[in-house]
Structure 1
Amino acid sequence: MENVLDKVMTATEAAQLWNLAPITVRQACTGYAKAPARFTATEARKSGNTWLISVDGMERVFGNKRTND
Structure 2
Amino acid sequence: MTLKDVMTIKEAADLWGRPVATIKAACMGQKGYPPRFREDECRQSGSIWLITRAGMERLYGKQPEKK
- TM-score, normalised with respect to structure 1: 0.87
The alignment of Structure 1 onto Structure 2 pairs a total of residues equal to: 67
CA RMSD between the two structures: 1.6
Shift of 1:67: 5.1
SS in structure 2 of the partner of residue 42 of structure 1: coil
Tell me by how many angstroms 1:68 deviates: 4.7
How far off its partner does 1:55 sit? 0.2
Which runs of structure 1 show a deviation greater than 3 angstroms over 4 or more consecutive aligned residues?
Answer: none
Unpaired runs of 5+ residues, structure 2, are none
Deviations 1:2-58 (CA, angstroms, capped at 9, x unpaired): x71100000000000000011011011001105321111111110001110000000
Q: Unaligned regions of 5+ residues in structure 1, if any? A: none
8 A contact 1:29–1:44 mirrored in 2: yes
Partner of 1:57: 55
Preserved contact between residue 19 and residue 68 of structure 1 (Cα < 8 Å):
no
User: What TM-score does the superposition give when structure 2 sets the normalisation length?
Assistant: 0.90
